[in-house]
Structure 1
Amino acid sequence: MRKLVWVLPWLVFLASPVSDLAAGHHTLGATVAGWAGLAAFVTIYLTIVFRQMGRTFRGGIVSAAVAVQWVLAVVLAFSLGGSWLGLFVYVSVMCGVTFPLRVAYWTIPATTAAMMLAGWHAHDLDEAWGLFLVVLLVGYSMTGIRQLVATTVELRKARATVAQLAANEERLRLARDLHDLLGHSLSLITLKSELAGRMLPDHPAKAAQQVSDIEQVSRQALVDVREAVTGYRRPRLAAELAGAQVALTAAAVTAEVPADPDLTDVPEDGEAALAWALREAVTNVVRHSGATRCTVELLRRQTLDGPVLELAVEDDGSGGSGKGPGNGLTGLTERLEKAGGTLEAGRLKHGFQLVARVPLAAGVAVGSGA
Structure 2
Amino acid sequence: MFSNEVEERRPAGFRARLTHQAARRWYPGALIGLVYQISVLAGLWTSDGSLAEKIITTFLLVLVYAGFLALPPLLWWEGERTRMLAIAGYFALTLLLIPSLGEITCWTWVYVACVIGMVVARPVLSTALIVALGAVQLVVFLLAGSFEDYWFIALVTVSIGIMMSAFARQIDALRKLRSAQGEIARLAVIEERSRFSRDMHDVLGHSLTVVTVKSELARRLVPVDPARAEAELADIERLTRSALADLRAAVAGYREMSISTELAAAQASLAAADITAHLPRNGEEVAPDLRELFGWVLREGVTNVIRHSGSRNCWVTVGSDALAIEDDGLGPAPVGSVPAAAAVRGSGLAG
Smaller-chain TM-score range?
A: 0.5 to 0.7
How much has 1:33 moved relative to structure 2?
A: 4.9
**Would the alpha carbon gap of residues 279 and 296 (structure 1) be closer, same or farther in structure 2, given more than 3 Å must change?**
farther
Tell me, in whole angstroms, the C-alpha distance in 2 between the residues paired with 1:124 and 1:88.
17
SS at match of 1:235: coil
Q: 1:89, CA displacement in angstroms?
A: 0.3
Tell me whether 1:259 sits opposite 2:276 in the alignment: no
Q: Deviations over 1:28-85 (max 9, x none)?
A: 67545533432443343333134236x54x5555433322333344563476334333
Give yes or no for the alignment of 1:81 onto 2:102. Answer: yes
Q: CA deviation at 1:284?
A: 7.5
Whose strand fraction is larger, Structure 1's or Structure 2's?
A: 1
Aligned amino acid, residue 12 of structure 1? V
8 Å contact kept, 1:85–1:128: no
| Count of residues in correspondence between the two structures | 294
How far did 1:137 drift? Answer: 1.4
Q: Does 1:179 align with 2:188?
A: no
Match of 2:90 in 1: 69
Q: 1 or 2, which has the higher helix percentage?
A: 2
Of 127, 142, 147, which residue of structure 2 is paired with 1:120? 142
Whole-angstrom distance in 1 between the partners of 2:318 and 2:243? 44
Match of 1:18 in 2: 41
1:95 counterpart = 2:120: no
Is 1:74–1:118's contact at 8 Å kept on the other side of the alignment? no
TM-score (norm 1): 0.64
**Aligned equivalent of 1:223:** 245
Cα 1:182–1:33 shift into 2, 3 Å: closer
Q: Which has the higher contact order (CA 8 A, sep 6+)?
A: 2
Q: 2:293 aligns with which of 270, 276, 295?
A: 276
Further displaced range: 11-20 or 207-216: 11-20
C-alpha distance in 1 between matches for 2:239 and 2:259:
35
2:168 corresponds in structure 1 to 146
Residue pairs, 1:1-370, within 5 angstroms: 2-26=25-49, 31=54, 33-52=56-75, 55-56=77-78, 59-74=80-95, 76-77=97-98, 80-101=101-122, 102-236=124-258, 239=261, 252=278, 259=284, 271=289, 275-277=292-294, 279-280=296-297, 294=317, 296-297=319-320, 312-313=321-322
State the Cα distance separating 1:244 from its structure 2 match: 9.1
Structure 2 portions without partners, runs of 5+: 1-23, 270-275, 327-347
Unmatched 5+ residue regions in structure 1?
Answer: 264-270, 298-311, 318-330, 335-370
User: Residue 236 and residue 14 in structure 1: after superposition, are their counterparts in 2 closer, same or farther (change >3 A)?
Assistant: closer
Which amino acid in 2 is paired with 1:159?
Answer: Q
**What's the secondary structure of 2:187's corresponding residue?**
helix
Distance 1:69 1:207, change over 3 A: closer
Shift in Å, 1:257: 6.6
3-state SS, counterpart of residue 259 of structure 1: coil
Check whether the contact 1:66–1:95 (CA below 8 A) recurs between aligned residues: yes
Identity of aligned residues (%): 28
CA offset at residue 293 of structure 1?
9.3
Structure-2 change in CA distance of 1:120 and 1:194 (3 Å): same
Aligned partners of 1:45, 1:15: CA distance in 2, in Å? 15
1:225/1:134 CA distance change after superposition, 3 Å: same
What code does the residue aligned with 1:170 have?
E
CA distance in 1, matches of 2:286, 2:165: 38
Q: State the structure with more CA Rg.
A: 1
User: 1:280-311 CA distances to partner (integer Å, 9 max, x unpaired)?
Assistant: 489789989xx9995522xxxxxxxxxxxxxx
Q: Which is worse superposed, 169-178 or 199-208?
A: 199-208
Alpha-carbon distance in structure 1 between the residues aligned to 2:196 and 2:291: 24
Whether contact under 8 Å (2:116, 2:161) holds in the other structure is: yes
CA–CA distance in 2 between the matches of 1:293 and 1:173? Answer: 29
Output one character per residue of 1:343-366: Cα deviation in whole Å (capped at 9) or x when no partner: xxxxxxxxxxxxxxxxxxxxxxxx
C-alpha distance in structure 1 between counterparts of 2:207 and 2:240, whole Å: 7
2:338 match:
none
Residue aligned with 2:145, SS: coil
Listed one character per residue, the Cα deviations across residues 240-291 of structure 1 (whole Å, up to 9, x for unaligned) are 68779999xx6657x697638896xxxxxxx4x6521565489789989xx9
